[in-house]
Amino acid sequence: MVLIVLGVLLVSGVAGCAKKESPKPESPAAPSKQAEQKEQQPEAKTVTVSELTAKEKEYVPRFVEIHKKISDLYAAFNKGSIDRQKLNSELMKLKPEVDQLNKESREYHKGNKLSPEDRKEQVYKDGLIYGKKLPNILGNMVVVPSKGVSLIKPADNSSSGNMTIEKKQLTDEELKADYQKREKDYQEYLSKLNSVMPK
């Protein structure tokens, strides 16, 4: 009788172990955060040329206002009224305002697109396309004096065409030349944008 009971206990123990070791059914893999974000991003809305024009017209006074503050600081620097350190510190005070304008413009253009047909229109190619470029120019005018410029160079010992990005700090004279180039682009793009604005 004792042997029978022990045999039953051993069989039960083995069965219990086998039950514990049986694999659980796999749950479906959780979607990655990147996939979730992609699913959550709404598709860009198609807008008309007149709607895009109206939006860019809202931005123009803000471009002009911020640019005036920036250009006044560079003018003072060029005349020697303020030094490089003062220029850097005063420009960085404008950075939050420029960043906000950049963010608003970038998000608007990302979420609102012209149709392929409307992008062929002269009003877009000759003027409206420059609206989204102006905030970038203003942003570079603000950060280049302290952060420098990015230079793209071939990677060392690379025969595969790989490139690296290096930061280069500008001397005062280099900075003045860099600003003049960006100022020229700003005036050209703003003029083209204004040329298609309703009077």
Structure confidence by residue, pLDDT tens digits, 110-167: 999 999 999 999 999 999 999 999 999 999 999 999 999 988 877 766 566 688 888 8
Whether residue 183 is predicted with pLDDT greater than 70 in this model: the reply is yes
Place of tokens 């065409």: 161
Name the residue among 180, 84, 101, 191 with its Cα closest to residue 141.
180
Q: Which of 4-8, 99-103, 129-133, 184-188 has the lowest mean pLDDT?
A: 4-8
Rounded-to-integer distance, Cα 128 and Cα 122, Å: 9
- Give the torsion sign (CA, 110, 116, 121, 126): positive
d(CA 102, CA 104): 6
For the entire predicted model, the pTM comes to 0.75
The pairing of strands 149-154 and 112-113 is unpaired
Beta bridge partners of 38: none
Domain map of the chain by residue range? 44-195
pLDDT digits (tens, 9 = 90+) for 101-124: 999 999 999 999 999 999 999 999
